[in-house]
Amino acid sequence: MSLSNRKIGFIGAGNMAFALMKGLVNSGLVPPENIMASDPEPSRFEGLSKSLNITITTDNIAVAKKSDIIMICVKPQVAKYVMDEISQFLKDKLLISIAAGVKTDFFEHYLSGLRVIRVMSNTPALVGEGSSAICAGKYAGKPELEIADKLFCSVGKVAVIEEKYMDAVTGLSGSGPAYVFKFIEALSDAGVKLGLSRETSRMLAAQTVYGSAKLVLETGEHPMALKDMVTSPGGTTIVGVHMLEKGGFSAAIIDAVEEATKRSEELGKK
């Protein structure tokens, strides 16, 4: 399914929108002249407009009118304001929302038959390594999911899920980069404590996490099996793993994901 002749409009031009626009242009999936974005302060995105050769405006309605696919890339508390403004211009269009916690039926309420795809992505999309989960609303189906899949594959990997699991995705991969950054920070601090320079320690920590993640994805092996490959009997690694478990490492991660999921559910209800 070609997207080269589709007009794509972004309402909201923050980090995630920028990552997706950059991915679409750099991959050649959508020509820059077919991309338009609106934001209350377009002056902040002059560099974006020039580097990608796309159009930035303050006019949400203009974006809605001129686009075949409309990306809602705003904070959840702004979603109602945006929909009140553009809903009358959405007939026969595909709406894709990355507004955290906002369910597909919220958007469908504004226009019967509106095709809606909900997406939860994450910040590694900024470097083309995002994790995105997508789900379809009541009136969207396989063709719409295929479009969303193509769009978000331009900035990483995509999973198709049922909407009831979207809050869990928010707690896992949506918030997950923060957990990983904390882990990298802790590894780096440990290296500094033991005498390594900050620069060397940070590089070793970050590359260790990056390489380990790549190993999981490319081998398809269970993380436990890969952990056992490193953990020699009576060696250094098993001592370190023991200390992590003694400190409640696994339980803390699971608790963090569960609590973030609960918070996502609360935000969705609001």
Give me the DSSP letters along 163-174: GGGHHHHIIIII
Domain termination residue (choose one: 129, 164, 199): 164
Low pLDDT (below 50) residues in the chain: none
- Among residues 121, 200, 206, the alpha carbon closest in space to that of 166 is found at 121
Domains contained in the chain, number:
2
The one-letter amino acid at 238: I
The one-letter amino acid at 11: I
Domain that holds residue 154: 8-164
- Give me 218's structure tokens: 């490319």
- Residues annotated within the binding site are 11-16, 60
Domain termination residue (choose one: 144, 164, 184): 164
- Give me 11's structure tokens: 């309402």
Could you give the dihedral angle defined by the CA atoms of residues 41, 44, 49 and 52, in that order, rounded to the nearest 10 degrees?
A: -130
Residues 6+ apart with CB under 8 A from 179: 253, 256
Do 12 and 143 lie in one domain? The reply is yes
| CATH code at position 232 | 1.10.3730.10
Q: Report the alpha-carbon distance of residue 57 to residue 44 in Å, rounded.
A: 11
- Residues annotated within the binding site for NADP(+) are 11-16
Do 138 and 24 lie in one domain? The reply is yes
| CATH code at position 24 | 3.40.50.720
For residue 151, what are the CA distances in angstroms to 1, 29, 156?
A: 11, 8, 10
The β-bridge partners of 69 are: 8, 94
Do 104 and 202 lie in one domain? The reply is no
Do 154 and 35 lie in one domain? The reply is yes
Do 158 and 191 lie in one domain? The reply is no
Has residue 260 been placed in a domain? yes
The per-residue b/e assignment along 161-174, b for 16 or more CB within 10 angstroms, e otherwise, is eebeebbbbbbbbb
Q: Report the alpha-carbon distance of residue 198 to residue 188 in Å, rounded.
A: 7
Do 123 and 100 lie in one domain? The reply is yes
pLDDT at 235: 94
Sheet strands side by side (includes 94-97) = 55-57, 35-38, 8-11, 69-72, 94-97, 115-120, 130-136, 156-160
Do 191 and 256 lie in one domain? The reply is yes
Is residue 199 within 8 A of residue 207, CB to CB? The reply is no
- Residues annotated within the binding site for NADPH are 60
Beta-sheet pairing, 55-57 with 156-160 = unpaired
Do 51 and 15 lie in one domain? The reply is yes
Do 55 and 188 lie in one domain? The reply is no
Has residue 169 been placed in a domain? no
pTM: 0.90
Do 92 and 184 lie in one domain? The reply is no
The one-letter amino acid at 173: S
Is residue 19 within 8 A of residue 125, CB to CB? The reply is yes
At residue 7, the 3 state secondary structure works out as: coil
Q: Report the alpha-carbon distance of residue 264 to residue 254 in Å, rounded.
A: 15
pLDDT at 1: 56
pLDDT tens digits for range 9-66: 999 988 888 889 988 998 889 999 999 999 888 776 777 777 788 888 899 999 999 9
